[in-house]
């Protein structure tokens, strides 16, 4: 965190100064480790074994927060009889289809779950091609709460609690040591610290970043942490939670108002071709009429969104212009698109502040794909490698691409920086913060807002006389943003549209005011209230010293300025704070409402004693002690009966490429990970496959404080470039001795994809680990550099080493771990490089099938 | 006005400033430094200092190397086979051999000696009589302990500043805040100040005149004279995210620093000590002082800096005496002959 988020890390330092214990779990010793109380080096890709070990420690030693677990989680719910755990199937859950490498998750449901109770992302409705996981970003998937059977004693063998206990029984400290390479004593020290600092009086938070998400089983990493936090009562309480640190500014915003193909603003799913024939049937996939919680009002959110986009053209007769929404027909994610590019199926591509030629996994495939495009638009601050690959990329050097043979027309459009335009950033706390334009953008630089506004205008101009039905969505769009004298559309007007308007044209104060009758509009229901009372709430900057510690008057957080989600859980079932020290919101009997430091994430006047009447649905079905109000059953899920494609509980699988055999189960890797068995995406053999010893080491990528991601913001600046001028790899002294690597010398790192060269930093910050009785060396690779001629500093790109193997839930690539070889010296140049890599492939016996067998037979 | 050359004084009044404001300085607490280098960048941005080369030094994460004419803040990174307080680094039980910190330190030494143009300076290393930074035990059989120290170094703004004392043009002067500032439009580039600094801070900028801004002119930290005069915090301290660099009244900072040392000692970090806070030291204490976690030499700081002009009065006295003696001799020789 100190390494990649130094400014945010000031709060960790402040907490530390007040006595907080800081534990850093990371393969390498970073700037964070340097100031932490404990650094736990572990093998990249083994985190679920570690987290599962913590879960077991909590359960076996009965250190869970019993009242919290019983009242607020699904611990007491019974799982159906058909469910078979990975314990009994060698690492697979019931419902696995070997041929398709997917699960039918029906058997994972709660006991007595009614057939057809499928809703948002629900069991049976889970569809791999569409990455349903994304649409759960503001609430859980559907279950039918009315049929749930419970055992409040938690003793029933099919209770979630007992299922969990059995599932994690084998995650012993000894197993953690064997799999993660973390000595037992050190592991137990972490367990003791975390449990001792949780309970009524104290809370612990977990902070993660892409070190947890860039894996073929990344979603389950986060689930592992969620289970720990629910067991310890650390959710919905001050100082608790699971905090996601993002890769760059407004990543949270880019899922809330998505740049993703499969969701609409506010996590409404994108309609699917062939499935969502009518608005009603589409809505039924979101809201389950039977279910609890606020998704039941999805119709109001959808209608308001469509009214915001198409105004008067969205009418009750045309299903509020539902047919104007595009339909998706499968996976249209970034990696699928790049593969399609390589197959010549993609004509054009927009890159907006993104540098895939350096920053995306299998960067080589990205460049080769972009060379197949008809046109490419790059909008960036600098002439990044993704704009110059056609003249000075690595494939020009190897002769694989020839400039004169690339037909792609590349348009470079200089972009305005954030200081040169107004708008909001949404950070990880879901907080929108308005930034005011400080200076005009220089020269031809323009904001994204102006670019797209203008593009829309020009397209509409072209289509003005079109009679075609297919052009109506574009022609009927409300596209009337006021522009200033320089042509810049008003970001303020956009924020107002997002907030939404009522029938009287007044800005809405809350999404609870949204109606399904077309009388309200709103571009993103969860953002409604950002313009409450006609004030840009996101622009508020009242200093922390002038308000309460929750700081509700700084910026604005969705939903409805709640700073902590599910904060009903900060009070006990009777509505009293678990402790004075950790009070956040509570039930005030005299006022008959919820009060406190934060905006209660609960219906304001629903008393703790409220019990829903028989047959209640929607918010009315949430009891007074159901704090997880977006979950279909109002509870925190220790066990996920639906919504995930790779299992209801996290299981340790080895990374897609691993020199280590899975010590816990027969199944080696995630059996549902997405693989692409293609000649241009060869995989290293893993332990247990012939040729695995050719790639005996683990490599991982990361960032340095001095640079920003793929370098577009830093490698063009001399002041930052001089601080980290060259691509380097970090190795331990033991590894250096084993391979003859010299400090400040060169090393060549090889995978089945390619070989790259880096300067060598031999450092005690990298530690060899004892894993399964053998020594595992890890190579650290900061991924900021790329090959091109325009930046102040350049170098080989670490992401060239990685292949494509994706998490099935969200299509995220496994770029935080792979296997590799490392040898001293510089890599071969030109076509020699191809021969060098080919030699490795042939020694390892690599074919298209290598590493792509998802089921371990 | 005494314009003292040694001993504890308040430098601004001592230099003749009537009604001087409280002395300003930096307290750099290295125990909370996270090595982000925001100070280096903020300093260069505010003071419009040129970059000084894209050079990979491999001295841990330090590719800056040293303070110089184009580096007024420098973050040192020190990898050591030592334990930081009660920090647990998880090395025990792992298949580790001898560490690399020795080799790393050699690389750092080499980067700092020989051709220093890599560091953007032609200032040769002044032999400060320090022991090498290599620590005993660095080549043990199996590394057991480790810590990574970071320290943002800066001009010390000495109470008794030799650079200022030797400056023949008056380019270097004592400000009303007790800080020491070079005026680049007055400096003639004579370079007397460079060897005079006991810390090796001030330096002449290398580069071709007319091409590189202020080439040949002596440069160093001004403690953002142009900011503090307006009541602003110096750029580095403003940018520091963890309050490792604290700016303020030196008296108050010294109190705060002592409290911090006491707190660290109580927390088991017995290595914590202050550097430059003592007005009885060889430079009369510094306006920019530090909390270190090891001997000053480890950070490349002289253990016992002494203002190089300390003996100037005595030298003048001796010179004067010698002149008088000569004069007396001359009088005796020639006078007697008259």
Residues of B with Cβ-Cβ distance to A718 under 8 angstroms: 50-51, 54
- Fill in the DSSP letter of residue A637: -
Q: What is the mean pLDDT of residues A230-247?
A: 95
**How many residues are there in chain A?**
857
- Closest-CA distance of chain B to residue A178, Å: 12
The token pair that represents A188 in the structure block = 């137990």
Q: What is the mean pLDDT of chain A?
A: 94
Which chain B residues are Cβ-neighbours of A189 within 8 angstroms?
88
Q: Which residue of A has its CA nearest to B59?
A: A761
| Chain A: closest CA distance from residue B63 (Å) | 6
Evaluate if residue A399 carries a pLDDT over 50. Answer: yes
Among chain A residues, the shortest Cα distance to B38 is held by: A706
Beta-carbon separation of A9 and B98 below 8 A: no
Q: Measure CA of the first residue to CA of the last residue in chain B; give whole Å.
A: 43
**Contact (CB<8Å) A769/B88:** no
Is it the case that residue A271 has pLDDT exceeding 60?
Answer: yes
Percent of chain A scoring above 70 in pLDDT: 96
The answer to whether A725 touches A706, Cβ cutoff 8 Å, is no
Measured CA to CA, the distance from residue A55 to residue A221 in angstroms comes to 13
Shortest CB distance from A734 goes to which of B34, B97, B107?
B97
For residue B338, what pLDDT is reported? 47
Flag if A705 and B35 touch (Cβ within 8 Å): yes
Domain extents in chain A: 20-112+148-244, 573-627, 674-844
Average confidence (pLDDT) over B126-147: 56
Angstrom distance (rounded) from CA A348 to CA A370: 9
Q: Chain A: give the shortest CA distance to residue B44, in Å.
A: 7
Alpha-carbon gap, residue A186 to A518, rounded angstroms: 59
CA distances from B255 to A246, A474, B202, B204, B274 (A): 39, 67, 28, 35, 11
Q: How far is CA B175 from CA A389, A628, B153, B285, in A?
A: 53, 61, 21, 17
DSSP H/E element including A746: strand A746-750
Residue A618's pLDDT is 81
Query: Who among B51, B88, B91 is closest to A722 (CB)?
Result: B51
d(CA B111, CA B116): 7
Chain B residues whose CB is inside 8 A of the A733 CB are: 97-100, 103, 143
Give the nearest chain A residue to B71 (CA atoms). A719
Which residues in chain A touch residue B107, judged by CB atoms under 8 angstroms apart?
743-744
Whole-number Å distance between alpha carbons of A237 and A65: 13
Nearest to A6 among B34, B84, B96 (CB): B34
Quickly state the pLDDT bin for B115 (edges 50, 70, 90): low
Count chain A–chain B contacts defined by CB atoms under 8 A. 167
Strands in A423-426's sheet, in edge-to-edge order, are A423-426, A431-435, A556-557
- Answer yes or no: do A769 and B96 touch at CB < 8 A: no
- Are A189 and B88 a contacting pair at CB < 8 A? yes
**Nearest Cα residue in chain A from B118:** A722
Chain-chain contact of A186 with B88 (C-beta, under 8 angstroms):
yes
What DSSP string describes A399-423? Answer: TSS-GGG--PEEEEEEB--GGGS-E
- Asked whether this complex has an ipTM greater than 0.90, the answer is yes
Q: 3-class SS at A25?
A: strand
- By Cβ distance, the residue of B38, B89, B96 closest to A734 is B96
- Is B332's pLDDT higher than 90? no
A761 contacts on B by Cβ (under 8 Å)? 58, 60
Q: Tell me, what's the pLDDT at A124?
A: 35
Would you call B90 and A726 a contact, using CB atoms and an 8 Å cutoff? no
Per-residue pLDDT at A288 exceeds 90: no
Mean pLDDT check: name the lowest of A142-146, A252-256, A730-734, A746-750.
A142-146
Q: How far is B280 from chain A (nearest CA, A)?
A: 31
* Spatial CB neighbours of A787, under 8 Å, sequence gap ≥ 6: A385, A392, A393, A394, A397, A794, A795, A796, A797
Mean pLDDT score, A460-466 = 97
Residue of B32, B95, B150 lying closest to A734 (CB–CB): B95
Q: How far is CA B98 from CA A111, A343, A733, in A?
A: 58, 51, 7
Chain A residues touching B243 at Cβ < 8 A: 10, 13
Instruction: Give CA–CA dist A428/A256, Å, rounded.
Output: 11
Contact B147 A34 (CB under 8 A): yes
- Of A9, A189, A728, nearest to B34 by CB-CB distance is A9
In this predicted model, what pLDDT tens digit does every residue of A118-159 receive, in sequence order? Answer: 344 433 334 444 555 666 655 667 677 778 899 999 999 999
- Measured over the CA atoms of residue A575, residue A578, residue A579 and residue A582, the dihedral's sign is negative
Longest dimension (CA), chain B: 93
pLDDT of residue A682: 98
Interval A530-572: pLDDT, tens: 999 999 999 999 999 999 999 999 999 999 999 999 999 999 9
- The answer, yes or no, to whether the previous bond of A388 is cis (omega within 30 of 0) is no
- 3-state DSSP assignment of residue A213: helix
* Shortest alpha-carbon distance between residue B74 and chain A (Å): 10
% of residues, chain A, pLDDT over 90: 90
What's the number of CA atoms in the CB half-sphere (13 Å) around residue B24? 23
Mean of pLDDT values over A563-585:
97
CB distance A761–B58 less than 8 Å?
A: yes
Task: Summarize pLDDT for A55-73 with one digit per residue, the tens.
Answer: 999 999 999 999 999 999 9
Residue whose tokens read 């942490």: A225
- Are A765 and B79 a contacting pair at CB < 8 A? yes
Chain B positions touching A38 (Cβ under 8 A) are 87-90
Partner-chain contact B146 A765, CB within 8 Å: yes
- pLDDT over 90 (residue B3): no
Lowest mean pLDDT among A143-147, A417-421, A604-608, A737-741: A143-147
CB-CB neighbours of B304 under 10 Å? 12
A608 sits in the region (left: phi over 0; alpha: psi -120 to 50; else beta) called alpha
- What pLDDT, on a 0 to 100 scale, did the predictor assign at position A434? 98
What fold is seen in the domain A20-112+148-244?
Answer: Dimethylsulfoxide Reductase; domain 2 (3.40.228)
* CATH class of residue range A674-844: mainly beta
Chain B interface mutation, best of A23, A183, A763, A773, highest count of B Cβ atoms under 10 Å: A763
* Tens digit of each residue's pLDDT (9 = 90 or more) over A624-676: 999 998 888 899 999 999 999 999 999 999 999 999 999 999 999 999 999 99
Residue of A176, A184, A733, A764 to mutate, testing the B interface (most B Cβ within 10 Å of its Cβ) = A764
Helix (H, G, I), strand (E, B) or coil at A435: strand
Task: Closest CB to A13: pick one of B61, B104, B242.
Answer: B242
Q: Which one of B76, B100, B106 would you mutate to disrupt binding with A, by most A Cβ within 10 Å of its Cβ?
A: B100
HEC profile of A54-117: HHHHHHHCCCCCHHHHHHHECCCEEECCCCCCHHHCCCCCCCEECCCCEECHHHHCECCCCCCC
Per-residue confidence (pLDDT) for residue A135, from 0 to 100: 63
Cβ distance of B54 and A721 shorter than 8 Å: yes
The structure tokens listed for A382 are: 């600098």
Tell me, rounded to whole angstroms, the distance of Cα B305 from its chain centroid. Answer: 10
- Going by pLDDT thresholds of 50, 70 and 90, the confidence category of residue B130 is very low
Return the SS3 of B33: coil
pLDDT band at residue B116 under the 50/70/90 scheme: low
C-alpha span between A821 and B299 (Å, rounded): 36
Q: Which of B31, B99, B242 is opposite residue A733, by nearest beta carbon?
A: B99
- Contacts with B72 from chain A: Cβ below 8 Å: none
- A724 and B63 within 8 Å at the Cβ level: the answer is yes
Confidence of residue A291 (pLDDT cuts 50, 70, 90): low
Inter-chain touch B87–A36, beta carbons under 8 Å = yes
Mean pLDDT to the nearest integer, B168-196: 96
- Asked whether the predicted pLDDT for residue B325 surpasses 80, the reply is no
| Residues B94, A183: C-beta atoms closer than 8 Å | yes
Q: Which residue of A has its CA nearest to B242?
A: A10
Testing the interface with A: which of B50, B242, B246, B266 to mutate, by most A Cβ within 10 A? Answer: B242
Tell how many helices (H) and how many strands (E) occur in chain A.
23, 26
Nearest neighbour of B54 by CB, restricted to A36, A183, A725? A725
Residues of B in contact with A764 (CB under 8 A): 79, 81, 99-101, 143, 146
Partner-chain contact A723 B241, CB within 8 Å:
no
**In chain B, which residue's Cα lies nearest the Cα of A762?**
B100
Query: In terms of CA atoms, which chain A residue is nearest residue B74?
Result: A723
Whether residue B88 and residue A31 make contact (CB cut-off 8 A), yes or no, is: no
Q: How far apart are CA A240 and CA A206, in angstroms?
A: 8
The total number of residues shown for chain B amounts to 338
């Amino acid at each position: 965190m100190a390494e990649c988020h130094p400014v945010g890390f000031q709060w960790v330092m402040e907490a530390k100064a007040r006595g907080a214990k800081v534990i850093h779990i990371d393969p390498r010793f970073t700037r964070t480790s340097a100031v932490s109380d404990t650094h736990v080096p572990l093998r990249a890709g083994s985190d679920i074994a570690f987290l599962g070990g913590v879960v077991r420690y909590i359960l076996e030693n009965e250190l869970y927060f019993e009242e919290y677990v019983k009242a607020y989680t699904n611990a007491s719910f019974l799982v159906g009889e058909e469910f078979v755990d990975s314990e009994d199937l060698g690492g697979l859950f019931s419902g696995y289809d070997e041929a398709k490498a997917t699960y039918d998750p029906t058997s994972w449901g709660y006991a007595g779950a009614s057939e057809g109770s499928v809703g948002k992302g629900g069991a049976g409705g889970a569809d791999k091609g569409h990455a349903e996981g994304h649409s759960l970003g503001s609430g859980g998937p559907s279950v039918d709460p009315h049929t749930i059977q419970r055992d409040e004693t938690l003793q029933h063998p099919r209770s979630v609690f007992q299922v969990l206990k059995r599932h994690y029984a084998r995650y012993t400290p000894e197993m953690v040591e064997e799999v993660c390479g973390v000595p037992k004593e050190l592991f137990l020290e972490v367990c003791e610290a975390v449990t001792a600092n949780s309970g009524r009086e104290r809370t612990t938070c977990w902070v993660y970043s892409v070190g947890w998400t860039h894996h073929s089983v990344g979603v389950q990493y986060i689930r592992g942490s969620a289970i720990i936090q629910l067991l310890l009562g650390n959710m919905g309480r001050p100082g608790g939670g699971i905090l996601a640190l993002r890769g760059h500014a407004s990543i949270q915003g880019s899922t809330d108002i998505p740049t993703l193909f499969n969701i609409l603003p506010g996590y409404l799913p994108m309609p699917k071709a062939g499935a969502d024939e009518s608005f009603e049937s589409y809505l039924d996939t979101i809201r389950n009429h039977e279910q609890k919680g606020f998704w039941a009002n999805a119709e109001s959110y959808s209608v308001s969104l469509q009214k915001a986009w198409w105004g008067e053209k969205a009418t009750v007769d045309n299903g509020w212009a539902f047919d104007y929404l595009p339909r998706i027909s499968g996976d249209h994610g970034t990696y699928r698109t790049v593969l399609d590019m390589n197959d010549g199926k993609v004509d054009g591509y927009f890159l907006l502040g993104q540098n895939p030629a350096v920053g995306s996994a299998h960067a080589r495939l990205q460049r080769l794909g972009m060379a197949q495009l008809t046109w490419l638009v790059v909008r960036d601050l600098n002439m990044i490698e993704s704009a110059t690959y056609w003249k000075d990329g690595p494939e020009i050097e190897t002769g694989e691409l020839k400039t004169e043979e690339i037909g792609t027309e590349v348009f470079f459009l200089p972009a305005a920086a954030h200081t040169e335009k107004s708008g909001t950033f949404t950070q990880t706390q879901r907080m929108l913060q308005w930034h005011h334009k400080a200076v005009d953008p220089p020269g031809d630089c323009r904001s994204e807002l102006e670019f797209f506004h203008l593009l829309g205008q020009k397209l509409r101009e072209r289509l003005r006389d079109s009679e075609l039905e297919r052009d109506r969505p574009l022609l009927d769009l409300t596209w009337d943003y006021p522009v200033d004298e320089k042509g810049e559309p008003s970001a303020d007007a956009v924020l107002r549209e997002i907030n939404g308007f009522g029938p009287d044209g007044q800005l809405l104060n809350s999404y609870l005011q949204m109606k399904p009758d077309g009388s309200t509009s709103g571009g993103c229901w969860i953002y409604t209230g950002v313009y409450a009372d006609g004030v840009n709430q996101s622009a508020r900057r009242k200093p922390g010293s002038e308000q309460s510690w929750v700081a509700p008057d700084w910026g604005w957080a969705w939903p409805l300025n709640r700073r902590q989600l599910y904060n009903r859980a900060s009070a006990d079932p009777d509505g009293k704070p678990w402790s004075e020290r950790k009070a956040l919101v509570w039930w005030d009997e005299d006022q008959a409402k919820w009060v406190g430091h934060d905006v209660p994430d609960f219906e304001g006047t629903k008393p703790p004693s409220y019990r829903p009447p028989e047959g209640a649905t929607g918010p009315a079905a949430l009891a007074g002690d159901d704090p997880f109000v977006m979950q279909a059953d109002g509870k925190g899920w220790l066990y996920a009966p639906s919504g995930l494609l790779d299992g209801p509980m996290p299981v340790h699988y080895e990374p897609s490429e691993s020199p280590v055999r899975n010590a816990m189960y027969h199944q080696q890797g995630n059996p549902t990970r997405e693989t692409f068995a293609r000649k241009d995406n060869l995989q290293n053999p893993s332990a247990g496959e012939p040729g695995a010893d050719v790639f005996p080491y683990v490599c991982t990528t990361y960032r340095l404080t001095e640079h920003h991601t793929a370098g577009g913001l830093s490698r063009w600046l001399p002041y930052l470039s001089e601080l980290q001028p060259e691509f380097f790899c970090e190795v331990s002294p033991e590894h250096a001795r084993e391979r003859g690597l010299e400090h400040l010398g060169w090393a060549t790192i090889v995978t089945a994809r390619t070989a790259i060269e880096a300067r060598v930093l031999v450092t005690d910050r990298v530690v060899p680990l004892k894993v399964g009785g053998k020594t595992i060396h890890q190579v650290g690779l900061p991924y900021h550099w790329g090959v091109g001629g325009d930046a102040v500093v350049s170098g080989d790109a670490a992401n060239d080493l990685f292949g494509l193997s994706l998490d099935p839930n969200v299509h995220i690539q496994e770029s935080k771990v792979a296997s590799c070889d490392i040898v001293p010296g510089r890599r071969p140049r030109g076509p020699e490089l191809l021969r060098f890599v080919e030699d490795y492939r042939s020694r390892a016996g690599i074919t298209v099938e290598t590493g792509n067998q998802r089921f371990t037979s | 006005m005494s314009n003292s050359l040694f001993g504890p004084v308040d430098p601004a009044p001592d230099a003749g400033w009537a009604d001087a404001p409280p002395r300003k300085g930096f307290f750099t607490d290295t125990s909370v430094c996270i090595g982000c280098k925001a100070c280096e960048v903020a300093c260069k941005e505010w003071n419009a200092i040129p970059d000084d080369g894209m050079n990979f030094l491999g001295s841990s994460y330090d590719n800056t190397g040293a303070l110089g004419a184009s580096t007024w803040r420098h973050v040192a990174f020190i990898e050591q086979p030592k334990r930081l307080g009660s920090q647990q680094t998880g090395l025990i039980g792992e298949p580790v051999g001898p560490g690399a910190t020795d080799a790393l330190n050699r690389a750092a030494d080499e980067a700092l000696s020989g051709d220093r143009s890599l560091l953007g300076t032609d200032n040769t290393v002044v032999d400060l009589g320090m022991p090498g930074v290599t620590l005993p035990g660095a080549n043990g059989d199996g590394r057991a302990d480790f810590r990574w120290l970071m320290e943002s170094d800066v001009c010390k703004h000495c109470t008794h500043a030799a650079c200022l004392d030797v400056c023949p043009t008056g380019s270097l002067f004592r400000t009303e805040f007790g800080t020491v500032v070079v005026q680049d439009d007055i400096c003639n580039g004579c370079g007397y100040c460079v060897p005079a600094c006991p810390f090796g801070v001030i330096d002449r900028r290398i580069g071709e005149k007319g091409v590189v801004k202020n080439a040949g002119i002596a440069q160093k930290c001004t403690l953002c004279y142009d900011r503090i005069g307006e009541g602003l915090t110096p750029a580095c301290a403003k940018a520091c995210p963890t309050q490792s660099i604290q700016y303020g009244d030196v008296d108050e900072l010294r109190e705060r620093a002592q409290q911090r040392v006491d707190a660290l000692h109580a927390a088991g970090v017995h290595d914590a000590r202050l550097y430059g806070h003592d007005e009885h030291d060889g430079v009369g204490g510094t306006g920019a002082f530090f909390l270190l976690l090891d001997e000053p030499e480890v950070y490349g700081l002289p253990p016992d800096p002494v203002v190089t002009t300390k003996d100037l009065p005595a030298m003048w006295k001796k010179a004067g005496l010698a002149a008088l003696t000569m004069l007396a001799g001359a009088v005796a020789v020639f006078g007697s002959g008259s």
